[in-house]
Chains A and B, each alone.
Chain A
Amino acid sequence: MSLAIDVRHLNKTFGAKAVVQDVAISVEAGRICGFLGPNGSGKTTTLRMLCGLLRPDSGEGTCLGFDILRETDQIKRRTGYMTQRFSLYEDLSIEENLLFIARVYGLEHGRRRVSGAIEQLGLGPRRRQLAGELSGGWKQRLALAGCTLHGPKLLLLDEPTAGVDPKARRDFWDQIHALAAEGLTVLVSTHYMDEAERCHDIAYIFQGRLIARGSAEALVRDSRLITFRAEGEGAYRMAADLSRAPGVLMASPFGQALHVSGTDRSALETAIAPFRRTGVVWSEIAPTLEDVFIRLMGREGEAG
């Protein structure tokens, strides 16, 4: 097993604010690691430190075998970084943007590689269109083409599918899996649970600290969370009363239904008992990844 990313004790402060604290991440080569956490938890900062865009205040480790403090040039050459905000030139066409990237990286047969990338992404008919005129989904495809053009070994994707429609998101993820199958390592930050579940494993960061690590199944299992679902007339209206009951950690409406979670089975059943009435059907379900993360956030928030 070889590690594409292997960093420890990463720290970064902006002014007085510690944005990343003692984060350690390791990702095996060829794996897709989902990078999750609430807004402002330090995901973007961590990704930027990994690709040399920000210098960690302290920390150690390697990306693709190169030191993250001293060999950023080597890392940059072999890493594709897709920014959260579209950051290619809006006043250049698709083709011109890709040609620029090909030249900056000094790629051999730049023109041919650009044509290949355009065809592969289905951007052919739009090659002369200005990037600024593209819709969100096409911009995202272009950005992915841009950050993979130089044949990187590592992809760092910062919320690549924010604001993109479900079909385009699915296509995008199919592509990510295809790239990983070819041996690329991917670290991708996201807020979408369905995307998190498509990752080989997940790193969860909260307030600058890594608080959970593992596959989606393992995270659900380790949370020891028990979830009941209530369906029926007016079930969702019980949320406010139930969330105050002892033993209940979360009670959230899901459309007409209600999910109630806790870690103590007997306390949870005691809490639910008064709400077992005709017209409402209670059943135990597997907790979702979202339940797990909201639980993690709540627990860390209290601890902090």
Chain B
Amino acid sequence: MTQPLAFRRILAVLVKEFTQLRRDRLTYAMMLLMPVVQLLLFGYAINNDPRHLPTIVYVQDQSAMARSVLAALDNSTYFRIIRVAHSQSDVEASIRQGEALFAVTIPADFTRRVVRHDHAQVLVEADAADPTAVGGAASLLAALPRTALARDLVGGAAWLPAADPFEVIVHRRFNPENITAFNVVPGLLGVILSLTLVLMTALSVTRERERGTMESLLATPVRPIEVMAGKLSPYVGVGLVQTLVILGVADLMFGVPMPDTAASWSALGVGVVLFIIGSLALGFLFSTLAQTQLQAMQMSFFYIMPSVLLSGFAFPFQGMPVWARDVGQLLPVTHFLRIVRGTVLKGETFADLTASLAALAAFLVAITSLAMLRYRTTLD
């Protein structure tokens, strides 16, 4: 015969659970504080209709009309003119390196052609690697000619209402067909690597501590950097295999373009290695901070959330407010995504990616130093 449910026994278990929960301060904090932090952080940061996108302008026609066109762009709130280019190659570099998402070129004969009704054109190049980032702004451009010159064309130069005074030519660069997978799949490489690698090493030292093997390990002459190097090395291999698998699937199943030059490949390779070691080092740092494996896991998850949401993976990086972009800059995934998308979609090489690669290297050095400071050679 089975015993009837006893409320007192349920209560006994319940009280015990609460007592244990109260002891585990970090879990407690994570459960109450994290939802609030995440809600505020991501609620304000994420924006699916990004505005104020960085735009570079190349004006060869110094005229009132050209200025009116730029003013109209600026007033639309979708474009934020960051600077004036001084040459065509300057424009090219700016858009390739991701400094600007848009490049607006007003040719020298713009005013003359407008006045003569002779097919005046403004060229807008958009970095369409992330289709959602530039989608809203690009659609606005269709309406630009109708309104931009309204004030300039009163009186003598009044226009026939049927036709637009000029035409906006939009070049969607890097991903002309707006294929979302071209942006998402390379991004997934960064997210998947962070997700698995950080967790792997985050558990490594805490596991030794929980199982008591740390005491034996510390009694040997092994040095902290030796422990770290030994623990990280196998996972570097794991990360490289993961990278090859993901790139293979991206190429064969999603048709994502691959770097087309050896220079591009090697920039990607250096980025991958730096990112893998950096992620592993971060996991190792977590494992020196956490007392238990559960805490190490919580820390890893708390790192993964912004890595997905603030890095430019799930939502356009340029669409976020400045403070959120600053936070995003601290995340290695942000820089890694630029390297992967840059090499895969834009054929970038070391020259274009110096800043991102340097950021990954700096992250690696900083995290390793912190981990070494935190790693105790005694049980104190």
Q: A and B from one assembly?
A: yes
In the complex, which of the residues A54, A88, A90, A105 contacts B221, with contact meaning CB atoms closer than 8 Å? A105
Contact B216 A76 (CB under 8 A): no
CB of A1 within 8 Å of the partner chain: no
What are the residues of chain A within 8 A of B380 when measuring CB–CB? Answer: 54-55
CB of B180 within 8 Å of the partner chain: no
What are the residues of chain B within 8 A of A262 when measuring CB–CB? Answer: none
Given A73-B221, A90-B211, A104-B222, A54 contacting B378 (CB threshold 8 A): yes
CB of B20 within 8 Å of the partner chain: no
In the complex, which of the residues A81, A87, A147 contacts B213, with contact meaning CB atoms closer than 8 Å? A87
Contact A89 B213 (CB under 8 A): yes
Contact B378 A55 (CB under 8 A): yes
Contact A53 B221 (CB under 8 A): no
Query: In the bound complex, what is the Cα–Cα distance between A88 and B208 (angstroms)?
Result: 10
CB of B219 within 8 Å of the partner chain: yes
Contact B220 A54 (CB under 8 A): no
In the complex, which of the residues A52, A79, A87, A105 has the most CB atoms of chain B within 10 Å of its own CB atom?
A87
B105 to chain A, nearest CB (A): 64
Contact A53 B219 (CB under 8 A): yes
A248 to chain B, nearest CB (A): 43
In the complex, which of the residues B215, B221, B222 contacts A87, with contact meaning CB atoms closer than 8 Å? B215
Contact B213 A76 (CB under 8 A): no
CB of A146 within 8 Å of the partner chain: yes
Please, which residue of chain B has its CB at the minimum distance from the CB of A132?
B211
CB of B212 within 8 Å of the partner chain: yes
Contact B216 A87 (CB under 8 A): yes
What are the residues of chain A within 8 A of B218 when measuring CB–CB? Answer: 53
Interface string of A42-84 (1 = CB under 8 A from B): 0000001001111100000000000000000100110101010
A58 to chain B, nearest CB (A): 14
CB of A138 within 8 Å of the partner chain: no
CB of A85 within 8 Å of the partner chain: yes
What are the residues of chain B within 8 A of A54 when measuring CB–CB? Answer: 378-380
Given A53-B219, A101-B220, A88 contacting B379 (CB threshold 8 A): no
Query: Number of contacting residues on A, CB 8 A?
Result: 23
CB of A86 within 8 Å of the partner chain: yes
Query: In the bound complex, what is the Cα–Cα distance between A89 and B220 (angstroms)?
Result: 14
Interface string of B70-104 (1 = CB under 8 A from A): 00000000000000000000000000000000000
Please, which residue of chain B has its CB at the minimum distance from the CB of A150?
B220
In the complex, which of the residues B213, B214, B219, B378 has the most CB atoms of chain A within 10 Å of its own CB atom?
B219
What are the residues of chain B within 8 A of A51 when measuring CB–CB? Answer: 219
What are the residues of chain B within 8 A of A48 when measuring CB–CB? Answer: 379
Contact A86 B212 (CB under 8 A): yes
Contact B211 A53 (CB under 8 A): no
Contact A88 B219 (CB under 8 A): no
Interface string of B202-234 (1 = CB under 8 A from A): 000000000111111111111000000000000
Query: In the bound complex, what is the Cα–Cα distance between A89 and B214 (angstroms)?
Result: 10
Contact B216 A83 (CB under 8 A): yes
A114 to chain B, nearest CB (A): 15
Query: In the bound complex, what is the Cα–Cα distance between A53 and B220 (angstroms)?
Result: 10
Q: Which of A84-104 contact B (CB under 8 A)?
A: 85-90, 101, 104
Query: In the bound complex, what is the Cα–Cα distance between A90 and B212 (angstroms)?
Result: 10
A117 to chain B, nearest CB (A): 16
Contact B220 A76 (CB under 8 A): yes
B242 to chain A, nearest CB (A): 24
Q: Which of A107-159 contact B (CB under 8 A)?
A: 146-147
Contact B220 A88 (CB under 8 A): no
Please, which residue of chain B has its CB at the minimum distance from the CB of A73?
B221
Query: In the bound complex, what is the Cα–Cα distance between A85 and B208 (angstroms)?
Result: 13
A171 to chain B, nearest CB (A): 22
What are the residues of chain B within 8 A of A53 when measuring CB–CB? Answer: 215, 218-219, 378-379
B204 to chain A, nearest CB (A): 13
Query: In the bound complex, what is the Cα–Cα distance between A83 and B378 (angstroms)?
Result: 14
Given A53-B218, A76-B220, A105-B220, A87 contacting B212 (CB threshold 8 A): yes
In the complex, which of the residues B211, B221, B380 has the most CB atoms of chain A within 10 Å of its own CB atom?
B221
What are the residues of chain A within 8 A of B211 when measuring CB–CB? Answer: 87, 89-90
Contact A146 B216 (CB under 8 A): yes
A303 to chain B, nearest CB (A): 31
In the complex, which of the residues A77, A89, A90, A104 has the most CB atoms of chain B within 10 Å of its own CB atom?
A104
B128 to chain A, nearest CB (A): 50
In the complex, which of the residues B212, B378, B379 contacts A85, with contact meaning CB atoms closer than 8 Å? B212
Query: In the bound complex, what is the Cα–Cα distance between A86 and B211 (angstroms)?
Result: 9
What are the residues of chain B within 8 A of A101 when measuring CB–CB? Answer: 220
What are the residues of chain A within 8 A of B212 when measuring CB–CB? Answer: 83, 85-87
Query: In the bound complex, what is the Cα–Cα distance between A101 and B211 (angstroms)?
Result: 17
What are the residues of chain B within 8 A of A90 when measuring CB–CB? Answer: 211
Contact B215 A83 (CB under 8 A): yes
What are the residues of chain A within 8 A of B213 when measuring CB–CB? Answer: 87-89
Inter-chain pairs besides A77-B221, A83-B215, 20 sampled, C-beta below 8 Å: A51-B219, A53-B215, A53-B219, A53-B378, A53-B379, A76-B219, A76-B220, A76-B221, A79-B219, A81-B216, A83-B212, A83-B219, A85-B212, A87-B212, A87-B214, A87-B216, A101-B220, A104-B222, A146-B216, A147-B219
The 9 closest A-B pairs by CB, nearest first: A87-B216, A81-B219, A104-B220, A87-B212, A87-B215, A76-B221, A83-B215, A85-B212, A77-B221
Instruction: Mark B residues whose CB is within 8 Å of A.
Output: 211-222, 378-380
Q: Sample 10 A-B pairs with CB under 8 A, ordered by A number.
A: A48-B379, A51-B219, A52-B378, A53-B378, A54-B379, A81-B216, A85-B212, A104-B217, A105-B220, A146-B216
